[in-house]
């Protein structure tokens, strides 16, 4: 199975900051990498697919990059609604796997 | 717009069975693989199972050890998850998903005596 490792596990930032979350795959997954956002008590929401393509309706403050084993999610100009938990997911091969999540908190 | 609506959850005793359903709309259901993902209380997301667009191929998380079965009825635009021999650690919110784009609202399954 492909292991997905996110870092950091938690992150404190202020409104207006720019933050970057990293996701590393235990083997190459080309660009079959998605990022999802989850707020407490809510269903996950897809942000990015194909490592760098924004889902429809997702603001351009979210951006993704990477290919192979190393990926990043960058969120610019943080707003209160961006504080949530973020997960990466590989869908290159079964079983699909998630990273452990990064909880983004307000400083 | 795409909608995925789960149903069939609730409280079930250990060792019993339960079947979840996911009604899909807003896209050509028969053209897409579909998945179930779960989240135990206070934990992260765990992929559970996936099924090919035509229902021929099924894929499962290793941890399930044959207890769960995913299926679909393309004539009804519905995805299913049959869960057998349920245990306490199967307690979770179960999400239907069209990876990597869409998620249902989730349905809670509680395994407890």
Residue A51 confidence (pLDDT) above 80: yes
- Section A86-105 average pLDDT: 97
Q: What is the pLDDT of residues B10-21, one digit of tens each?
A: 999 999 999 999
Q: Report in angstroms the alpha-carbon separations of A69 from A30, A48, B90.
A: 8, 16, 31
- Shortest CA distance from B6: residue in chain A: A43
Distance CA B1, CA B15 (A): 38
Distance CA A102, CA B25 (A): 31
Question: Are A82 and A21 spatial neighbours (Cβ–Cβ below 8 Å)?
Answer: no
Q: What is the pLDDT of residues B55-91, one digit of tens each?
A: 999 999 998 979 999 999 999 999 999 999 999 999 9
Contact: B100, A98; criterion CB under 8 Å: no
- Section A65-71 average pLDDT: 98
What number of other Cβ atoms are within 10 A of residue A31's Cβ? 16
Residue B8 confidence (pLDDT) above 80: yes
What number of other Cβ atoms are within 10 A of residue A41's Cβ? 7
* B82 phi/psi in degrees, rounded to 5: -95, 120
Q: Which of A9, A21, A43, A58 to mutate to test the interface with B (most CBs of B within 10 A)?
A: A43
Confirm or reject contact between B102 and chain A (CB < 8 A). yes
Contact: A55, B101; criterion CB under 8 Å: yes
Confirm or reject contact between B105 and chain A (CB < 8 A). yes
Contact: A38, B100; criterion CB under 8 Å: no
Q: Report in angstroms the alpha-carbon separations of B57 from A35, B33, B104, B107.
A: 25, 9, 22, 24
């Amino acid at each position: 199975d492909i292991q997905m490792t996110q870092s950091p596990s938690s992150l404190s930032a202020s409104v207006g900051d720019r933050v970057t979350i990293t996701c590393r795959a235990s083997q190459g997954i080309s660009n079959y990498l998605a990022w999802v956002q989850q707020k407490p008590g809510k269903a996950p929401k897809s942000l990015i697919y194909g490592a760098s393509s924004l889902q429809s309706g997702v603001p351009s403050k979210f951006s993704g990059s990477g290919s192979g084993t190393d990926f990043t999610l960058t969120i610019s100009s943080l707003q209160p609604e961006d504080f949530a938990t973020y997960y990466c997911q590989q869908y290159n091969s079964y079983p699909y796997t998630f990273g452990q999540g990064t909880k983004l908190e307000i400083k | 717009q795409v909608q995925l609506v789960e149903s069939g959850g609730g409280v079930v005793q250990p060792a019993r069975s339960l079947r979840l359903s996911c009604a899909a709309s807003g896209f050509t259901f028969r053209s897409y693989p579909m998945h179930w993902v779960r989240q135990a209380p206070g934990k992260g997301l765990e992929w559970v199972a996936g099924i090919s667009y035509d229902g021929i191929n099924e894929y499962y998380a290793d941890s399930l050890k044959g207890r769960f079965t995913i299926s679909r009825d393309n004539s009804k635009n519905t995805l299913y998850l049959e869960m057998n021999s349920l245990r306490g650690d199967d307690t979770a919110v179960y999400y239907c998903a069209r990876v990597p784009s869409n998620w249902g609202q989730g349905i809670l399954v509680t395994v407890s005596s």
